[in-house]
Each structure stands twice: as structure tokens, then as C-alpha cells.
């Protein structure tokens, strides 16, 4: 098991965000985490490489217990690549510099070796010709692909993606997703927090639906996205896939627990809405909502 | 104002009025001032000529030396205090805050008198290394460090949080992330305000006046005042003032250019 999460709780002050998460990701598996905003998906991902310190629970990545107080967290993080919604490239460095600096400083690779690895990974994301550009000169989609190449240059065993396409213009999403798709096909272990339902359906081995700090439903993508069993999952997917559709007040509420509330019975067309959004193109478009 | 005026007409009237006020003020000063006496007291060409080359080779040189040594000391100390301010260890934060508020809240002159009088009293037999230069570096540096610390802290905090998160995710330790990723970005942000601090320090070096210095250690203000006293004429004061401007004005222009460049480089701010 590459990632193993047991009994994970996380609170910010008195506000519980994660309330008992158990999740496993096998080697080479791609797991997509979906759920409404505020459901704790990003917090869950950030706990895996300890950007957030769990309040309670155990997380093991590649045999090393991340939550062990004695662990060398820098050593563990070297094996976990992370891609952020806001790219977080180093603006004062060129694209090549962004890829070589961490290799040189953290892995102590030689200049030549770091440059060679950087070239390989830039080629992998199709941006070899941008090696000398600065991040500000690139489009959002190109910046995100550089960020992926930067993470890959460290030779990680696991990649975490925190809403990698959420701050991109719609026409730039495709390039980033196709890089991720290829990565998954190459056998990388991936945990992806995303709103891209077409990506989840097509690439994920498993989809996890998180709501109000607990896993409501998990299973094969075709099942969770295609034929969700739980009312809360159905309501969420309905809202994501048909953002413009009229619905009863209960169903549009942003309250995480709304699915169980009195309005939960008020979505008679939710199943139909899902079916009509079945084509990959339609799903992709509305998924941007 | 008549409601029949268009907006453009009103603007023209307003601007005309402002020019008129300015012209009147200039004319008033020009007419009332006694230019002849002013010139006699402040602009004696032969007196001004006698000031050279000493005013450059000794006075301006010392002003620059005092400023640079004070700034160097202040920069090192300020960096340490800034890091203490940002530390996760509370007593460090408290100490840094006390330091900053203490030295920002006191007149620099008081600090100078303190360094000149209290330190020799408190540590009898010990000399501040570097003689007058050491004392000045200490006095100017102690004050400058308080301001520099706040500037540097603001610069470090202006670097987006995601930069530290990205660096840590790549396996950088906290100190290494600071040095390799955060400092280079913070440095660019703080160069203009630090250059401003340098200009302020350049002027504050005139406080050396109160330390008691030898002839060779005089800087611009002391030099100008001494020679004005000797010749019973204020021309040396005017020349000393011009020497200050010779340095401060180009530095200020440089700050403005640096700020403009930073604004271009970081259009998202």
C-alpha cells in the first residue's frame, strides 16, 4: 500500500474539518477526491505530506509514517510530489531554474545531472522550448505543467494534485489534464483533488466523495460518478454537472449537511440530470462550474 | 461657480486659480527677501573655493564612511531582529518587538549621547573598537536596525505563502527554503525601502556632531559649522548642504526607478 490513512481527524481551532478518514491508495493507483467546497478535500491532501498537521490519526506513505513525531519530514516529502492550484513556481527563476534548484539544493545532484533531469521532465510535459522563460511569461496551463515537471524532477513515488486546473482558463485545462492522464498511465501513484468529473470518470481507478469531513462514498469511478448510491453524492454531482439547472431551495443550499435535510427529497430530476450530462464533452464543460 | 460652466471649463478655471496662487507666493518671497544680504552671508565665491578639496576629501568622505559602517551594522542586526520577530519561539518575538519599539521611539540624538557617554561609563577601560567610526557605526546601526528589521519582516511576509509551501513540499528544510526561495524574493521587495533607509542614515550621520570628533573625523555638518564659525560667514553651510544633495538626490531618483521596475516585474501586485 503506497498511501495509508487511518482514523484521520483534523480541526482548525474548534472547527472540525476532517472527522475520521480511512483511505488507502495502492501503488500505481489513481484516486480522485471530489466533494463540495469546504468538505475538507484539500485539507486531506495536505495532511498526506504534512503541510497540515493532523489532530489525530495515522498516515503512512511508502512505508514511512508521516505522522510519527520522530520522522524526518524533509526526507519523506522528497518522495511525495505536490502540485498546487496556484502553481507556486519560483518567480525569480527561469523554468529550468525552477526544476534544477530543488534537485541541487535538496538532492545534491550535480549541475549537469540536474539539468539533464530537468530537460527530460520538461520534454515529458511538452515544454522543452520554454526552459529559459520566466514563469510570468507563461500561460497558466504552461505554468502548471512546469510545476508538474518540477515535482517529477525530484523522482517522487507519489504525486498529490490539489485542484490543479481550478485556476485555469477553460481552454487551458486540457493540456494539464492530458499530462496527468499520461502520468497515470505510466503507473504513477496519484491522489487528485478535482472538480473535473470527466477526468475522474476516465482516469481515476477509484473516486472518493468527501462531504462534511467524512467519506460518504467511494468506489470505481463509473459507479461513484456514474451511478452514485448516496443522496448527498447525487445532489453534489447534480450541482456540479448542471450548475444552471433550476432546483429546490434545499438542493442548492451550501450547507454541507443539506443532503440529509428536508430538501433532500426535492431533487426529482437529479438522476435525469446526470444522464443528460453523460457525454464526456458535456461533462467536461459543465464541470467547470 | 456658475452652473452654466461645463465640467471642462470649471476644471480650467480651477487650474488657473492654482497657478495664480503659486505665482503670487513666489513673487511675494522674491520682493520681500533681502537678496543682497543673503548673498553676502551665504554665497561668497572665494570662501566657497577655500573649502575645497577638504570638504570632499575629509567631510564628505567621512559622512559616507559613517553612513556605510552604520548601515552595514544596522543591516546585519536588523536581519537578526527581523528573523526573531518571525520566530516561532515567543521570547524571541517579544525581545525583537521590545527592541524595535524602543529604538524607533527614541530620538537618534539621544542614542548617540547614550553611546558616547553611557557606554564608556558602564564598561570602564573598554573602548568601542574603531574609535569614532565604531561609535558612529554603533549609534547609527542601533537605530537603523529597528527600522530595517520592520522593513525586512514586511518583505519576507510579502512573499506569498505558497512559495514556502512549494519549497517545503519539494523537501527543502525551513532554513534552506528561507535562504534559497524566500530571501531572494524578499530581497527584491525590500531594496527600494532599504535604499530610502540609507538616505535617512546619510542625513542622520550629522549627529556625530555630538560625539566630539577630531578635525580629521569631521563630517559635512560639523565641518560646515566649524568653518562658518571661523569665517563668520555661512557660505560653508550652504556648500555642505549642496554636498548632501549631491548624494541624496541621485539615491532618491534611484529608489524611484527601482520601485517602477519592481512594479513592472510583479504586475500581479
* Residue in B173, B185, B266 closest to A74 by CB: B173
Q: What is the mean pLDDT of residues B253-265?
A: 80
Helix then strand then coil, in percent of chain B rounded to 5, is: 85, 0, 15
Whether the predicted pLDDT of A28 surpasses 70: yes
φ/ψ region of B99 (left if φ > 0, alpha if ψ in -120 to 50, else beta) reads alpha
Is A74–B169 a contact, with Cβ atoms under 8 angstroms apart? Answer: no
Please give the helix or strand (H or E) that residue A12 lies within, else none: strand A3-12
In a domain, B96, yes or no: yes
Contact B193, B180 (CB under 8 A): no
For residues B148-175, give the mean pLDDT. Answer: 95
Q: Are B163 and B157 in contact (CB under 8 A)?
A: no
- Which pLDDT band holds residue B265 (cuts at 50, 70, 90)? low
Mean pLDDT score across all residues of chain B = 88
B127 lies in some domain: yes
Pairing of strands A64-65, A56-61: antiparallel
Q: Is residue B173 situated within a structural domain?
A: yes
- Taking the C-alpha atoms of B60, B61, B63 and B66 in order, what is their torsion angle to the nearest 10 degrees? 180
Sorted by sequence, the CB contacts under 8 Å of residue B127 that are 6+ apart come out as none
Q: Calculate the CA B134 to chain-centre distance.
A: 19
Instruction: Report the pLDDT value the prediction gives residue B131, as an integer from 0 to 100.
Output: 78
B170–A102 CB contact, under 8 Å: yes
pLDDT at position B2 is 54
Task: Give the pLDDT mean for B204-219.
Answer: 84
- Report yes or no on B11 lying in a domain: no
Q: State the alpha helices, DSSP H only, in chain A.
A: 41-48, 73-78, 95-107, 111-124, 140-152, 170-185, 197-203, 221, 231-241, 249-252, 270-276, 280-286
C-alpha–C-alpha distance, residues A161 and A156, integer Å = 13
* Contact by Cβ (8 Å): A57, A17: no
DSSP letters for B22-58: HHHHHHHHHHHS-HHHHHHHH--HHHHHHTTTHIIII
Query: Is A60 near chain B, with CB under 8 Å?
Result: no
In a domain, B37, yes or no: no
pLDDT band for B72, please (50, 70, 90 cuts).
Answer: very high
In a domain, B135, yes or no: yes
Is residue B259 one of the residues assigned to a domain? yes
Could you count the other beta carbons within 10 Å of the beta carbon of residue A161? 27
Section A143-149 average pLDDT: 97
Q: Which range is least confidently modeled, A213-222, B33-42, B81-90, B144-153?
A: B33-42
Q: What is the number of residues in chain A?
A: 289
Tell me which residues of chain B, numbers 137 to 196, contact chain A at a CB-CB cutoff of 8 Å.
Answer: 160, 162-163, 165-173, 176, 180-181, 184-185, 188
Does the beta-carbon distance from A92 to B163 stay under 8 Å?
no
pLDDT at B13 over 50: yes
The residues facing A31 across adjacent strands are A191, A206
Cβ within 8 Å of residue A160, ≥6 positions away: A45, A48, A49, A80, A81, A82, A83, A190, A191, A192
Mean pLDDT of B188-216: 88
Q: Is residue B33 part of a domain?
A: no
Higher pLDDT: A250 or B239? It is B239
C-alpha B136/C-alpha B116 separation (Å) is: 9
Which of B166, B172, B267 is the best substitution to test chain A (most A C-beta atoms within 10 A)?
Answer: B166
pLDDT score of B216? 83
Supply the pLDDT for residue A122: 96
Q: How many CB pairs under 8 A join A and B?
A: 61
Q: How far is residue A275 from each of residues A199, A204, A227, A271, B63, measured CA to CA in Å?
A: 17, 20, 9, 7, 80
Say if residue A196 is exposed, middle or buried (CB neighbours under 10 Å; 0-12, 13-18, 19+): buried
The rounded distance, in Å, linking the Cα atoms of A258 and A251 is: 7
Q: What is the pLDDT of residue B264?
A: 61
B positions 60-119 inside 8 Å of A (CB) = none
Mean pLDDT of B100-119: 88
Nearest C-alpha neighbor of B65 from the set B185, B202, B196: B202
Domain holding B178, by residue range, is 53-265
* Nearest CA distance, B98 vs chain A (angstrom): 29
Kindly state whether A49 is in contact with chain B, defined as any CB-CB distance less than 8 angstroms: yes
- Long-range contacts, B84-87 (Cβ 8 Å, 24+): B85/B149, B85/B153, B86/B153, B86/B156, B86/B157
- The count of domains in chain B is 1
CA geometry: angle B80, B85, B260, nearest 5 deg? 80
CATH of the domain at B186: 1.10.3720.10
pLDDT digits (tens, 9 = 90+) for A245-286: 877 655 444 444 444 334 333 334 433 334 433 334 434 443
Question: Residue B86: is the preceding peptide bond cis (ω within 30°)?
Answer: no
Question: A106 and B176 in contact by Cβ < 8 A?
Answer: yes
Question: Distance between CA atoms of B98 and B93, rounded to whole angstroms?
Answer: 9
Residue B182 has pLDDT above 80, yes or no: yes
| Per-residue pLDDT tens digits for A83-125 | 999 999 999 999 999 999 999 999 999 999 999 999 999 999 9
Check if B263 contacts A (Cβ < 8 Å): no
In this predicted structure, which of A191-205, A208-222, B76-90, B209-223 has the lowest mean pLDDT? B209-223
CA angle A16, A82, A153 (to 5 degrees): 165
Contact of A109 with chain B, judged by CB distance below 8 Å, is answered with: no
Amino acid at each position: 500500500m503506497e498511501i495509508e490513512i487511518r482514523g484521520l481527524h483534523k480541526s482548525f481551532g474548534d472547527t472540525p474539518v476532517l472527522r475520521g478518514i480511512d483511505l488507502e491508495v495502492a501503488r500505481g493507483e489513481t484516486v480522485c477526491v471530489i466533494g463540495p467546497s469546504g468538505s475538507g478535500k484539500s485539507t486531506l491532501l495536505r495532511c498526506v505530506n504534512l503541510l497540515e498537521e493532523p489532530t489525530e490519526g495515522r498516515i503512512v506513505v511508502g512505508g514511512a509514517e508521516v505522522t510519527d513525531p520522530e520522522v524526518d519530514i524533509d526526507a519523506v516529502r522528497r518522495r511525495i510530489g505536490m502540485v498546487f492550484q496556484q502553481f507556486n513556481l519560483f518567480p525569480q527563476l527561469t523554468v529550468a531554474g525552477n526544476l534544477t534548484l530543488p534537485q541541487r539544493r535538496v538532492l545534491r545532484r550535480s549541475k549537469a545531472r540536474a539539468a539533464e533531469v530537468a530537460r527530460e521532465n520538461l520534454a515529458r510535459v511538452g515544454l522543452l522550448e520554454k526552459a529559459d522563460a520566466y514563469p510570468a511569461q507563461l500561460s497558466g496551463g504552461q505554468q502548471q505543467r512546469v510545476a508538474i515537471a518540477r515535482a517529477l524532477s525530484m523522482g517522487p513515488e507519489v504525486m498529490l494534485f490539489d485542484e490543479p486546473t481550478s485556476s485555469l482558463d477553460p481552454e487551458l485545462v486540457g493540456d494539464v489534464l492530458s499530462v496527468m492522464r499520461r502520468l497515470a498511465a505510466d503507473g504513477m501513484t496519484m491522489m487528485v483533488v478535482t472538480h473535473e468529473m470527466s477526468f475522474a470518470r476516465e482516469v481515476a481507478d477509484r473516486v472518493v466523495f468527501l462531504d462534511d469531513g467524512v467519506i460518504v462514498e467511494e468506489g470505481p469511478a463509473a459507479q461513484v460518478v456514474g451511478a452514485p448510491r448516496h443522496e448527498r453524492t447525487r445532489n453534489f454531482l447534480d450541482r456540479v454537472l448542471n450548475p444552471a439547472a433550476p432546483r429546490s431551495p434545499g438542493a442548492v443550499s451550501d450547507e454541507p449537511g443539506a443532503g440529509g435535510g428536508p430538501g433532500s427529497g426535492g431533487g426529482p430530476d437529479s438522476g435525469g440530470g446526470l444522464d443528460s450530462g453523460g457525454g464526456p464533452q458535456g461533462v467536461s464543460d459543465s464541470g467547470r462550474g | 461657480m456658475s452652473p452654466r460652466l461645463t465640467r471642462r471649463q470649471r476644471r480650467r478655471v480651477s487650474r488657473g486659480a492654482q497657478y495664480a496662487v503659486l505665482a503670487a507666493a513666489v513673487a511675494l518671497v522674491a520682493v520681500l527677501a533681502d537678496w543682497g544680504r543673503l548673498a553676502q552671508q551665504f554665497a561668497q565665491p572665494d570662501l566657497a573655493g577655500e573649502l575645497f578639496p577638504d570638504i570632499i576629501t575629509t567631510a564628505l568622505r567621512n559622512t559616507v564612511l559613517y553612513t556605510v559602517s552604520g548601515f552595514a551594522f544596522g543591516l546585519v542586526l536588523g536581519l537578526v531582529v527581523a528573523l526573531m520577530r518571525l520566530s516561532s519561539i515567543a521570547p524571541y518575538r517579544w525581545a525583537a518587538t521590545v527592541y524595535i519599539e524602543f529604538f524607533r521611539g527614541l530620538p537618534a540624538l539621544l542614542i548617540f549621547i547614550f553611546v558616547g557617554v553611557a557606554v564608556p561609563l558602564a564598561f570602564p577601560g573598554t573602548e568601542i573598537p574603531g574609535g569614532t567610526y565604531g561609535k558612529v557605526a554603533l549609534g547609527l546601526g542601533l537605530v537603523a536596525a529597528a527600522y530595517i528589521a520592520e522593513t525586512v519582516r514586511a518583505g519576507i511576509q510579502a512573499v506569498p505563502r505558497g512559495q514556502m509551501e512549494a519549497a517545503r513540499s519539494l523537501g527543502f528544510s525551513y532554513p534552506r527554503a528561507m535562504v534559497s526561495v524566500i530571501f531572494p524574493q524578499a530581497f527584491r521587495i525590500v531594496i527600494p525601502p532599504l535604499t530610502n533607509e540609507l538616505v535617512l542614515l546619510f542625513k542622520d550621520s550629522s549627529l556625530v556632531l555630538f560625539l566630539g570628533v577630531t578635525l580629521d573625523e569631521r563630517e559635512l555638518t560639523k565641518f560646515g559649522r566649524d568653518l562658518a564659525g571661523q569665517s563668520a560667514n555661512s557660505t560653508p553651510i550652504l556648500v555642505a548642504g549642496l554636498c548632501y544633495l549631491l548624494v541624496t538626490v541621485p539615491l532618491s531618483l534611484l529608489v524611484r526607478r527601482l520601485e517602477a521596475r519592481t512594479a513592472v516585474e510583479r504586475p500581479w501586485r
